Amino acid sequence: MSLDLSAILSIWNFVLGFIVFVYLFYKYKFTQWNSKNIPTLSPSIPFGNMQNPLTRKTTTYEHLKSIYDHMKARGAKHLGIYSYFNMVYVPIDLEIVKKVMTTDFQHFVDRGVYFNEKDDPLSAHLVNIEGDKWRKLRTKLTPTFTSGKMRNMFIILTKCGEQMLDALNETKEVDIKEILGCFTTDVIGNCAFGLELNSFAEDKNDFRDFGKKAMKPNLMGILKLIFCMTFQKLSLALRLRILDKEVSNFFMNAVASTITYREENNIQRNDFLQLLIELKNTNDINNRLTLQEISAQCFVFFLAGFETSSTAMTFCLYELAKNQDVQNKVRDEIVKTIQNHNGILTYDGLSEMKYLQQVLNETLRMYPSVPFVARKCTMDYSLPISGKLMKKGTRVFIPIYAIHHDEDIYENPQVFDPERFSDENKTKRHPYSFLPFGEGPRNCIGSRFGLMQSKVGLVLLLQKYRFEPSSKTEKITFNPNGILMDTKETIWLTIKKL
């Protein structure tokens, strides 16, 4: 009996000691921004300034926006917050944003995203990898996205677009994100994996299913991600992986079998995979890529490429349905330009559609597919204004969504107005006030391809259909668990054949 009591007392002391330790640890951590003279908000244990992931009502980017608005109204040019106990620096002033992303880039080379190359090889892709390894890979992959290569892939895009049109072919209500998701899955599946998927024809499409699974983790997946991001070293030691094993095996096998098939049958195509195969077989050993590295890059092109562009097109058509005058104007431009190119949609014709570019820019302003981006301080940095040191390892969030909705930069930010992006109006703003593809050496490598595929999808659809709001979708709200821009509700639109 007495033994039991002493055991209970020991456990009690241990638990109490642990609670006191955690409390003091947090209290110490929470003094850090004050000691650097950086404006901050009062944090609480255990989430710091972030929301409880189990009960949050808004997205992280909307939450960042409310912090940004609050601090900017008090005259702050930057601020420091805590994600759990980790320090996060948030620049507000666009000159500071520019410093972090471009001018002082050598201090902010990495994103600080958790990845585990050994146990989860597909996670070692261009978005996640760091330092010199990233620099070398970025240099090798950059030629994959030149305008010459884009021109070669244009034909694949229009072919996938035609399949989309064949599948619609009538007046009805459609889940527009699903339609556009099938289109971009087909395009990227074709360009990155060399596979003719035709998601519209087949009931079951593993690429579409596994792609969705990789983009939309369940609650356990989200909690695991938060754990891995907060305790990166511990997670590596525990050999935790983020990507589901089944998803990972699927994509690794898809790349390996396609490469084998092409090499055995001597097949060459104008796509990303072909360029990656050339890097695998190059005689220059410094530039050679392994099969594992190729698989990781194909995977990231697929993930980064299909969701971002289908989101951009979805919101674009949603806004065009609500703004019929803008829809008519952009359609007029499309019809006239195609007529001037002998009735055919060409790469050059697409580049001439200036108003379409304005419409897409305004969509990406209101609904940036990637609403905030991260950097990690890779070398101690003298903080602007305060002059104190930001320690290596500190994370930085660039609040893209908040900047794009800042009333001081964009009057009436909730109004969809493509005129904001006319040549004249564009020059009146700071160049870092529009960041849909990020900025600086770590910006989006696929922006040209993303824009091209979004424009092709929009042109083909707008040429044949009028888009109108559907009574099934009256109001949209953002999915609180989404890291990328995503809605809770399905976006239904009525399409009418012209």
Give the C-alpha distances (Å, rounded to integers) separating 405 from 81, 149, 398, 410. 20, 34, 13, 7
- 97 lies in the binding site for ligand HEM (CB under 6 A): no
- Closer to ligand HEM by Cβ: residue 293 or 439: 439
Contact 423, 114 (CB under 8 A): no
Q: How far is the CB of 303 from ligand HEM (least distance, A)?
A: 8
- Closer to ligand HEM by Cβ: residue 30 or 298: 298
Q: What is the CA radius of gyration of the chain?
A: 24
Read off the amino acid at residue 442.
R
Restricting to residues 47-76, name those near ligand HEM by CB under 6 A.
none
- 442 lies in the binding site for ligand HEM (CB under 6 A): yes
- 301 lies in the binding site for ligand HEM (CB under 6 A): yes
Q: Retrieve residue 248's tokens.
A: 């990972």
Q: How far is the CB of 223 from ligand HEM (least distance, A)?
A: 24
Among 445, 458, 460, 495, binds ligand HEM (CB under 6 A): 445
The window from 28-36, 228-236, 255-263, 366-374 that contacts ligand HEM (CB under 6 A) reads 366-374
Question: How far is the C-alpha of 307 from the C-alpha of 296, rounded, in Å?
Answer: 17
- 444 lies in the binding site for ligand HEM (CB under 6 A): yes
- 485 lies in the binding site for ligand HEM (CB under 6 A): no
Map residues 421-440 to x or -, x wherever contact with ligand HEM holds by CB under 6 A.
---------------xxxx-
| Short-list 453, 457, 455, 496, CA closest to 164 | 457
- 309 lies in the binding site for ligand HEM (CB under 6 A): yes
Size of the site for ligand HEM (CB under 6 A): 25
- Closer to ligand HEM by Cβ: residue 141 or 174: 141
Which letter does DSSP use for residue 478 in this model? B
Question: How far is the C-alpha of 99 from the C-alpha of 91, rounded, in Å?
Answer: 10
Give the C-alpha distances (Å, rounded to integers) separating 192 from 141, 295, 445. 13, 10, 14
Question: How far is the C-alpha of 374 from the C-alpha of 363, rounded, in Å?
Answer: 22
- 373 lies in the binding site for ligand HEM (CB under 6 A): yes
- 183 lies in the binding site for ligand HEM (CB under 6 A): no
Restricting to residues 446-465, name those near ligand HEM by CB under 6 A.
446, 449-450, 454
Q: Retrieve residue 327's tokens.
A: 């829809």
Question: How far is the C-alpha of 300 from the C-alpha of 44, rounded, in Å?
Answer: 36
Among 32, 51, 77, 127, binds ligand HEM (CB under 6 A): 127
- 367 lies in the binding site for ligand HEM (CB under 6 A): no
- The string of DSSP codes covering 409-426 is TSSSTTS--GGGGSHHHH
- Closer to ligand HEM by Cβ: residue 359 or 445: 445
Q: Retrieve residue 165's tokens.
A: 């049109």
- Closer to ligand HEM by Cβ: residue 144 or 470: 144
Q: Which residue is nearest to ligand HEM (CB)?
A: 438
b/e burial code for range 227-250 (CB count within 10 A of at least 16 → b):
bbbbbbeebbeeebbbbbeebbeb
Q: Retrieve residue 469's tokens.
A: 């709001």
Binding site for ligand HEM (CB under 6 A): 126-127, 138, 300-301, 304-305, 308-309, 312, 369-370, 373, 436-439, 442-446, 449-450, 454
